């Protein structure tokens, strides 16, 4: 053990968990600075405060996600902020505020729910700086203190500098996501889908390369993707009297702040389990990572993660060959924090094959 490691380890144990450890690398922003009079996250419906606001504070959000928005940090004009998170939560008042069983105290339920959402977000769009675990001055626990503070980093799939985007508009600015190359279309055509979820077919040529406007690649913390999911989210918004044509303008998921759609889409996805779910591969690889993240967040919030059995579907995965083609078992992350007897559900594989 090096001297530096000993000193840092002592410091680590001397300070409490709350507060970003000094040894964590400072975020390096790749995001364009928002303008002075930028539009902050707001709610056209002016929904009342939800229960989560009684306990989850702006200080916590900023302590947890200093690397949000491509390293810029949380900012009310950017896709990810406490303000956006709280407004999104008002559309799901039960999020982080309900207590569905007596297995845990109400407070524990609330914190486990939010931990599960954050664990999802870490996995999907966290900075995922694995170099932290290669730093020989850090123990694994110390590296985790920094690693799990990398959430809400990416806006766009493959971003920043997403290869889906125009090289002159590579994704450091929310508006950059409005056009993409063919690979970023994620638009499924079928008779019924074409009727309900018609893709924007507008194209433009730049230096002889065709770019498209109908780009339904992953956007937001939980990576809303594919035309039909944009369409379903749009229907949800309409049910809340928010009229927005996401099929014509999918990038509004990142740019619209009234209400802040990047957060709202993520919470909607978390609260409304549906296809497409990740492939078998990412379930198996991703599941254990997400469980680790869940454990870290529950520890941060001083609540128990619960029995291992409810956190994974390992037993169920063994029967995978017997399961209908294109289906797999995965933990129902919108519900596993409740710790009910069966937290696994079949997941149709809706992604690209
Ligand atoms: C961490 O170190 C190992 C071995 O030294 C190396 O193979 C790996 O690429 C490193 N990972 C990262 C993320 O730097
Ligand atoms: C962005 O990505 C392209 C390739 O897709 C690469 O050539 C370029 O150097 C990257 N720019 C930055 C700033 O990372
Ligand atoms: C674009 O392609 C056309 C035909 O393939 C060619 O004639 C033209 O020179 C190209 N333009 C540029 C800017 O590369
Ligand atoms: C397609 O996108 C363009 C540019 O965002 C927009 O002006 C147009 O209205 C959209 N077209 C359709 C059919 O939705
Ligand atoms: C967790 O407990 C520690 C030590 O009692 C305390 O300092 C910290 O504020 C608690 N964290 C939360 C999120 O309640």
Confidence (pLDDT) at 339: 53
Q: Sort residue 186 into left (φ over 0), alpha (ψ -120 to 50) or beta.
A: left
- Domains contained in the chain, CATH given: 1-30+39-317 (1.10.530.10)
In whole angstroms, how far apart are CA 49 and each of 45, 156, 251?
12, 29, 28
Give per-residue pLDDT as tens, 111-150. Answer: 999 999 999 899 899 999 999 999 999 999 999 999 999 9
Distance CA(253)–CA(275), nearest Å, equals 19
Q: What is the pTM of this model?
A: 0.83
Distance 42 CA to ligand 1 centre (A): 43
Find all residues with CB under 8 Å of 243, minimum gap 6, and list them: 237
Pocket probe for ligand 4: among 194, 202, 227, the residue whose CB has the most ligand atoms within 8 Å is 202
Distance CA(230)–CA(221), nearest Å, equals 14
In whole angstroms, how far apart are CA 294 and each of 36, 93, 287, 299?
36, 21, 10, 9
Pocket probe for ligand 2: among 161, 169, 176, the residue whose CB has the most ligand atoms within 8 Å is 161
End-to-end CA separation in angstroms for the chain: 47
Over range 31-40, report the average pLDDT: 96
- How confident is residue 98, by pLDDT bands cut at 50, 70 and 90? confident
Query: By mean pLDDT, which of 224-233, 251-260, 294-303, 324-333 is the weakest?
Result: 324-333
- Does 134 contact ligand 1 (Cβ within 6 A)? yes
Question: Tokens for 63?
Answer: 């302590």
């Amino acid at each position: 053990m090096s001297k530096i490691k000993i000193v840092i380890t002592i410091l680590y144990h001397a300070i409490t968990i709350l507060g970003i450890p000094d040894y964590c690398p400072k975020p390096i922003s790749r995001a364009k600075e928002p303008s002075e009079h930028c539009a902050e996250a707001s709610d056209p419906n002016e929904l009342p405060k939800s229960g989560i606001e009684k306990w989850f504070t702006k200080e916590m959000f900023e302590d947890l996600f200093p690397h949000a928005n491509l390293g810029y940090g949380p900012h009310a004009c950017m896709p990810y902020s406490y303000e956006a998170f709280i407004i999104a939560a008002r559309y799901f008042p039960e999020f982080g505020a309900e207590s569905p069983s007596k297995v845990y105290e109400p407070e524990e339920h609330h914190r486990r729910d939010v931990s599960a959402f954050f664990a999802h977000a870490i996995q999907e769009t966290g900075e995922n700086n694995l170099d932290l675990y290669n730093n020989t001055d850090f123990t694994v626990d110390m590296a985790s203190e920094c690693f799990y503070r990398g959430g809400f980093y990416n806006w766009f799939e493959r971003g920043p500098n997403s290869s889906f985007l125009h090289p002159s508009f590579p994704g450091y600015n929310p508006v950059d996501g409005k056009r993409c190359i063919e690979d970023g279309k994620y638009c499924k055509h079928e008779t019924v889908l074409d009727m309900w979820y018609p893709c924007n077919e507008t194209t433009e040529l730049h230096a002889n390369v065709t770019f498209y406007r109908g780009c339904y690649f992953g956007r937001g913390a939980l990576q809303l993707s594919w035309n039909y999911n944009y369409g379903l989210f749009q229907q949800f918004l309409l049910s809340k009297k928010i009229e927005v044509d996401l099929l014509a303008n999918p990038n509004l998921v990142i740019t619209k702040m009234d209400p802040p759609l990047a957060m709202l889409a993520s919470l909607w996805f978390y609260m409304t389990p549906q296809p497409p779910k990740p492939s078998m591969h990412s379930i198996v690889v991703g599941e254990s990572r997400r469980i680790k993240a869940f454990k870290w967040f529950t520890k941060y919030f001083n609540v128990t993660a619960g029995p291992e059995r409810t956190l994974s579907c390992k037993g169920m995965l063994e029967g995978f060959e017997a399961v209908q083609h294109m289906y797999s078992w995965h933990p129902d992350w919108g519900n596993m924090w409740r710790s009910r007897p069966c937290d696994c559900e079949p997941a149709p594989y809706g992604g690209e094959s």
